[in-house]
Structure 1
Amino acid sequence: MFALNRKNSTFNFKKADFPKLYDLLSKVDWSEMTNVKEVNAACDFFYNTLECIFEACVPKTSISKISRRSYPVWFDSTIINCLKHKARVLKKFRMYQCQRHLDEFKKLRSQAKFLIAKGYSEYVKSMEDTISHDPRKFWTFIQTKRGKSRIPGTIFVNGEAISDPCIIVNNFADYFKSVYTVSLDNNYSANMTTNNNILLPKISEDDILRQLREL
């Protein structure tokens, strides 16, 4: 991998003209590299040749700056832009101690709080609406709030810390098995031996949705 002199752009090989690129590569006279005595000079010739071909066949795309700060999933572009604007105004106030900047900062802070509360409320509402047909989004929301998966990283059993996921899951299974009581109803057992059908009460779709909303 070689570094090219471009700070804000990079080659987009997904849109490259590969037939032209292959044709130009096949026409390069690589014998010139054998006449170069220094390794660095030969390396420069090789890289410069490739870059010239890439410039002719591969379009460039801008490199977007990656934000170092991560935001919750319910933060949209309006909220993020408001927070960034608030941070810039606060920086100006700290530099110049201007009352106008302080007033603007307070206004933006209130606006950001309102937008965050509104965005969170709308996100929760969307999770409630989609839980019936897409439960994965609900668990994604729960994991986002907790900042971890549903399986805890460490549990304590009899004072001993356990961090292996397999052992953790097995300990939960052993615990639920120990507190689970098997029904010994003779009438039920008799019915099971004489009838292969299990009678269950009728459950409607409304009953299922109602129970899901109560979770």
Structure 2
Amino acid sequence: MSCDEKKFLEFAETVTKIKYDDNDTVIVCGDFNQSGIKRIKADDGDYYLPMNVTTEGGVAVIDTMLGCGFHQMCNLENAAGNVLDLVFTNRFYDLSLSESLTPLIETDVWHKAIEVEITIDENESELNDVTEFYKYEAADFVAMNEFFVGRDISTEIEQQDDIENSFRMFENVVYEAMDKFVPKVTVEKSTDPPWYNKQLKNLNNRKRKAHGRSKITNDFADYMAITDSFVALQGQLFQTYISRIQSDIKSNPKHFWRFVNDRRKRSEIPSIVEYNNQTAISDASKAELFANFFESQYIPSDDIDLDNLLSECGDNAFDIELNEADVLKALLSINVNKGAGPDIIASGNCAKHFEKRENNTDF
């Protein structure tokens, strides 16, 4: 065994010891000096699969990376047509790779300067892995109605000194009812691409286990067979996923934009913000420009005398009688594709779980 082969085997063993969580982005890169190996682009993402790997060290590196869930992203050929510098990552959909046009140091004909851009969602953290939702279909609406009837909300509202406090009081009562009578469910955030299904996840687990056995027995036949099945199924699922998005783009464009956002993984404010012939670089100056923009979208209402308008209203101006049909009609008019507002109440559940009442409700 040559010295280089021994180094590759030692390197492969070291990679298996890397510890990271699902939300961590790991990048393993360097000059692997593996000439003569060609790579083809994968069907389901911007990474490359090696062809005709023959050396023991090369097989060890490739098998280890695949077994650890790392994908190789670089296919920049040098003057001899070889790709010597490789970039492996566990989250290829968060990275983009290109040849650098402004290298930090002088390069040679054998190694091109590589520029890697990684997109990190600043809001992504371990706390966001698990999210709680109200499960309205399991709510006790009968008990909730009794709760509202038992509370003299109208009297409590009248005791408030302004409309803002009245609203906050009413809001607190609604939240209290939700916490008491609407159970919550915990949903774990998935880090898998949206086209992954149960069968593909199972193959991925089998592939990792087979890789572990192969390192002991030195027989990679089973591992390579499972890997081939995994790559083939992943390509099929990805193409099916793309076809479904394309066919539904007119009737349901939200799936298309969700796909774009998932691939882009970018929600940050640009490094330079320009508005009204002004340029902002710092966070404070950017916030100021945003404030100026939103302020320009609204017309000041200083000329409206709210106290005078209220004084012209009669005693019964705000006595509104609503019946069950009026409430249901309003709930059915809500766009169920919109997300929940500040009240955290999902619009798709309002009409579906509307509890009918025999008597009219007075506000």
Does the alignment reach a TM-score above 0.5? no
Which entry has the higher C-alpha Rg, 1 or 2?
Answer: 1
Superposition TM-score tier, normalisation by shorter sequence: 0.3 to 0.5
The structure with the largest strand share of the pair is: 2
TM (normalized to structure 1)?
A: 0.40
